[in-house]
Chains A and B, each alone.
Chain A
Amino acid sequence: DTEVTQTPKHLVMGMTNKKSLKCEQHMGHRAMYWYKQKAKKPPELMFVYSYEKLSINESVPSRFSPECPNSSLLNLHLHALQPEDSALYLCASSQAAQGHYGYTFGSGTRLTVV
């Protein structure tokens, strides 16, 4: 299995909703990541889980909170989002904790906040 699986593929949520994005990999990768990608822009790093330690991009607002239940799963909990948070949310994993061998990306969750 050489895939990163993300669910759901599409999500529409209101600004008062709470929802979660899920990500799963079975490649034995040691690090997992959440990225946000706006249209015609490169992915922007939000969070890194590497060896069970969380690293945060300080510019990410607290309405996004990651959770790593085990080494194969990574969730992103969403609460009180704003319309400008609408984007493609990508999960990725890497064999090496430093990402030296490249990342494997999932197909993403396309999020629309209304």
Chain B
Amino acid sequence: QKEVEQDPGPLSVPEGAIVSLNCTYSNSAFQYFMWYRQYSRKGPELLMYTYSSGNKEDGRFTAQVDKSSKYISLFIRDSQPSDSATYLCAIVETSGSRLTFGEGTQLTVNP
């Protein structure tokens, strides 16, 4: 079993839709949760970072963490064609420096 599971998609939605991206994890030592966006042929860009259960909002993006279920989500409201990219969840242990990535979900927002 992988430490972090993420549906690779691909996911295709119309412009303006609400997008839900999800990851599950198995290690209770994971305490820091991030979402990265990666455009084709570019490096990953940190979108959201959180370390507690609950919601964190930044503009059209909301990160949600449920530590009891070991489940994290990223919601994108009013999706735009410019949101088309691969979204990677990433998790860090309390004591470690290793970033464990999910497989990434490829998202296409159609105009």
State A55–B41 Cα separation when bound (angstroms): 27
Interface size class on chain B is: 20 to 34
Task: State A107–B39 Cα separation when bound (angstroms).
Answer: 10
Could you tell me the distance between the alpha carbons of A55 and B101 in the complex, rounded to whole angstroms?
18
A100 and B32 contact, CB distance less than 8 A: yes
A43 contact from B32, B101, B106, Cβ within 8 A: B101
Interface residues of B in 64-110 (CB under 8 A from A): 88, 90, 92, 95-99, 101-104, 106
- Determine how close the nearest CB of chain A comes to the CB of B109; give it in whole angstroms: 19
Assess the B92–A100 pair: CB atoms within 8 A: yes
Cβ–Cβ < 8 Å partners of B92 in chain A: 98-100
CB distance from B16 to the nearest CB of A (A): 27
Chain B residues with CB under 8 Å of A4's CB are 43
Q: Tell me if B60 is interfacial: C-beta within 8 Å of chain A.
A: no
Interface size on A, residues (CB 8 A): 28
Q: In the complex, which residues of chain B have a beta carbon less than 8 angstroms from the beta carbon of A103?
A: 44, 46, 99
- Check B43–A97 contact: CB distance below 8 A: no
Which of these, A41, A98, A102, A107, contacts B42 with CB under 8 Å?
A107
A25 to chain B: which residues have CB within 8 Å? none
CB distance from A88 to the nearest CB of B (A): 8
Indicate if the CB atoms of A107 and B43 lie closer than 8 Å: yes
List 29 A-B pairs, Cβ < 8 Å.
A4-B43, A31-B97, A40-B104, A40-B106, A42-B88, A42-B103, A42-B104, A43-B99, A45-B98, A45-B99, A55-B97, A92-B43, A94-B97, A97-B97, A98-B95, A99-B32, A99-B96, A99-B97, A99-B98, A100-B32, A101-B32, A102-B34, A102-B49, A102-B90, A103-B46, A103-B99, A105-B45, A106-B43, A108-B41
CB-based closest 4 A-B pairs: A42-B101, A105-B43, A102-B46, A102-B49
